Structure 1
Amino acid sequence: MNGEPILYSIPRVKKLNRQSVVKACPHNTRKMKVPNADGTKRIEQIPVKENGSVPTSSYLTLIKQKLNPLCLSTKRKNAILAIEVLLTASPKFFSEDKRYRFDIDDNCDKNKFEEWKRLTVDWVRNRFQDTIIDMSLHLDESTPHIHVIFVPLITKQVRVPCGYKKTELKTEVRLCASDLVKRKWLYSLHDDYSKLLQCLGLSRGVIHSQAKHNEIKANGMLQMENERLRAERDLLVKQCESLRAELKTKQELATKILHLKSEASSYEQKSTEARASLDNYSRAVFDMKHKIGALSSLKNQGLSELKLQRKSIAESEFKLAQLYNEINSLKKIRDDAQVASNESLNTIRTQFELINSASRNAVKLLSLVDGFSELLIKEQLAKDICKSFENVLAEMKGNLGVFLEHNKSIDVERSVSFASSTPGTRKPNKLQSDNALYSSMPQKNLR
């Protein structure tokens, strides 16, 4: 088996009389305190029939419900009323980690457990059928197991009196555990249950084995003794660990003391060196204090000079603000003069255009007069007319010259004032260019 332990399927059978039935009911349903059971774990009541209900009455009541329809009764006080079959397997079969004990929450192979439960319940229902009164699964002990309680009803032939010294054989249902629970029946129970669980790797127990089952009380005493010994062992282990820890701490302290002594000697040497360096530092600190005093006096002098400079800067900033205000006012005056000059230039341009149109009309008139004078040149009337026209034109020319000189002087004054307010050279205005153009125009002499 490669060193692995053999795991067995385990069925156990026990006959129950009236007193045992009364005790088995609260034990199996956990209505009483069980010493070897863990109260934090659960038990499960399994229905007798598939899709049936769980019985809630006592075992004696359930037995009477089975016997009354058959008109059966017990004549002896110690008669066997029921048989209890306990079905389980080796404890390590249910554990996931074989090194530790089974625990339904922490150390349980769920797949194997559920398969074992399903096969066992189906096998019990098929084998004992209607004689079963209760099935319960206990998971609060060291190994999962199922308690099955059934009534030992058998069908047998009995002789019944049917007249004077006459009997006949009849087939009747009787309550008889001694006829049911025999060696052959027990062998078949073991064989059938082991064949059922052979697919799960469980083997049948050894036939004719001398091994005996320990009672619960003996197991309880042994378990208590084991627990006591385990507690003592754990206490000794803890004491050993504490002593080891103390020894280790003492060794560490000894090494630390030696290390501290060596550090103390080195610190003494460093302290002497530190004292010498401290004296040097004290001298240097004295010199530094003297230098700091001189620097503080220089700083005060510099601060006074800085205050004076800040005052002068504030005054210059005030003057600069005044200059900015004056410049802005001059700019405003310049803009106003520019607007006025532009307006005057526009008026002069309009007047000059009127004069130019008048001069053009006068030239046309002179040309007509020349033509007319040629026609009337021999006549005195023509002479007089020409003379009068010459006078009129001379007067118009004089008036025009006076008007041009007046406008020229006004333009010169405005250009001089604008040049004084705005630096740079200015282009000649349109009026000056028009005067120059008019002066350069050819004039016809009147006859």
Structure 2
Amino acid sequence: MRLELETYATQLSIPQSSEATHSTSNSSNDSNKRHFPRYDFKEDYEEICGLKEFGFNEKSGNIAKEYATWFRTEYLPKFLPMPDSEQQYPIATALALLNCKAVLSQRQCIPMPYFIGNNGSGKTELGKTIGQHYPKQLYVEVRPGNTGASIRDVLDEKFGRGDAGLCLIDNFNTNDAMAKWGAHYDILLANNEESAISRICGASNDQQKSEYRHYSYKIFTSIFDLTKGQAPEYAEIERRTIALNFLEGKPANNRIMYDWEGMSRVFARIWGDESMDLLHKQYAPTLGKLGRIKPTAIPDSIPAKKWIICQVPIAVGVYCGVWQSIEEGIEAFASHFQYLKGSKQAGVGSALSIVLTKWVKDELPKLGEANRNNRYASEASKRIDIEISQEELIKQITTRMGFSISRRDIDELITLMSNFGYNYERVGAAMGFVKQQTLTKK
């Protein structure tokens, strides 16, 4: 009986007095009223067409080759300064123009570009630039806070019907990615259409989906090197990636100040009906020839495990005129992997590189100046930005930056300090680093 009474009581509608109703209405109106008006400045500011402003004609005849040339020689230098641009720009152009659906079969693998470098170095800018080639409904940005399940659902909604789309996985963090992706880790590995299907066993009713399709062109941006002592899952991701290195620089122009809708139109022309004859006569045969090249016949500098993901971007590069032949494209990728190997030894993009760069550029000069102004500081500490022992440097990085340097990091530390202008030599009774410009002083 008590339960029945309580249940009935919750269904009662108690009328409010007119005064109370009036008060509630005013309160509701006040809460809904905007404190500031809506602003619409579109009529006051006309966006400039980026393609036209920087010299590309959308009506070009050989659209693929002319656009690739413009992208590599005009757009990238003006908007995305990259280290070793002569080496990296051609690779970046081929990756930017890749179409994940332009493959010979659903089993053919495509690469997952991995943009690595310091914060603010242009990684996300290049990712968003490539995203401009796609209409909004075929472009997805994944943030660090997104869970694997939510990403799976969005990709299935966007690309489940078979459209060629782009997924930008921005600020990929190897410290917590596996925990957030969890059982949906397979999405990170899916670089061909056949493997990009997630199935859920035991779907209980018609409302619950049992199959999710999430094939797309995935691009990662990160400050973390996938090869640096991470969980084994990251080695599987790394095997599917082609890296581009980034260092902080100052672009000559700002991308967001221009209208780039034309890029989507151009990309649609490159891969659309207009170009179908060329795609059948040039692109597909090139891709077929690459598929018949045995891994034993390629240069040693191209890792055997990565040859399979190089074929599509090489074919794209040849089709778009980035390279004049298959042989030239293969040589470019061989040179790129050799470059990446050297840059890893130099610590480009590593966690140590990021921390040490910040300390040497921002903290060390201030520390040296403060010590020189402190009359109680020792003579050695007053010269800390000019010469510093290895032990003291490691101590400074640990205490001031909260970063632990192990013995296996010493070779990288020496290389990095050399890049900053410090020789590795004896300082007092131990080894340390001496700024090179001081060696000529008498």
Work out whether the TM-score is over 0.5.
Answer: no
Higher relative contact order (CA 8 A, sep 6+): 2
- Structure with higher helix content: 1
TM-score normalized with structure 2 length: 0.19
Larger radius of gyration: 1
